Amino acid sequence: MGIVYRGRDPVLDRAVAIKTVRPELLGRFDASGADELSRRFVQEARAAAAISHPAVTTIYGAGVERGVPFMAMEWLEGETLEDLLEREGPQPEQRIIASGLVLCDALEAAHAAGVVHRDVKPGNIMVLADGRLKITDFGIARVQRSRVVQTQAGLVVGTPAFAAPEQLAGRAVDGRADLYALTVVLFVMATGQPPFDSEEILTLLHAVVNTPPPLARSLRPAVSPALERFLARGLAKDPAARFASAREMAGELRAVAPEASPHAAATAGTVMAQGAAAVRPGDDTLAALSPVEALGGDAQRRVS
């Protein structure tokens, strides 16, 4: 949905990330639709800014510049968890557990602030150069879910392989949908693949909503029985059968640690540092209407 530019705050002299809506997407809207998109974009940025947690990307501000909605965030040096997993494959169990604990704590803070992410996936989790984790893109999925965006832009909400069954079925969602998605992330870290995957979108949607998920050990026997049980509960179709909160999920994940490894409760910063490289996006020229100009920055760009 968006492009992230690297800019610079001329007052505080620091790098910032500026997320905007892709120009080709804005072009699909009529005037009222564009206004509604901008309003929702800024509204959700404000809601996400209320989350205070070291594993959640800090938002500095939001607004509309020359008709383009944007939000200014901390600039993160690192790579996505998706990139790391593509390079390294399945992860050691202690790394899975430690990472899961950090991400559970971040989601607990978000849910306490009344914010549901709706698109937790490896591509929205940054692994910084020092190994710390950061969840990005809070609020963006809610903007995508708005009627005007779906109607005029034709976007698919969320990422089907990671979305909860109730989300894909169009039912009301709460924080438990994020916990389902986080379970899928941990499942991928453990087995190297999501529980459901297909190039045919309708086949994938049907499987997520209706088909029992595979057990992790059927895909990778090295997964411990305790972690397999944990993942199975987190992937339950019925939200009531899953973890009721991120705090409960973290407690159950801690219980997996003794069976996995005596060191499984190590901090994610320690266990993720190995193999995490500082990856910078390539230089690019800013679009003429980019809000980065207001910050006086030239820049690098990410598309998401």
Which residues are catalytically annotated?
Answer: 119
What length does the chain have?
304
3-state secondary structure of 283: strand
For residues 140 and 137, what is the distance between their CA atoms, to the nearest angstrom?
A: 6
List C-alpha distances in Å: 114 to 48, 73, 127, 144.
Answer: 9, 20, 25, 18
Provide the greatest CA pair distance for the chain.
59
DSSP string, 22-89: -HHHHTTS-HHHHHHHHHHHHHHHHHHHT---TTBPPEEEEEEETTEEEEEEE---EEEHHHHHHHH-
Alpha-carbon distances, residue 14 vs 18, 40, 56, 85, 168 (angstroms) = 13, 27, 19, 30, 40
Of the candidates 162, 190, 189, the residue with the CA atom closest to the CA atom of residue 177: 162
Do the beta carbons of residue 25 and residue 153 sit within 8 Å? yes
In angstroms and rounded to an integer, the radius of gyration of the C-alpha atoms of the chain is 19
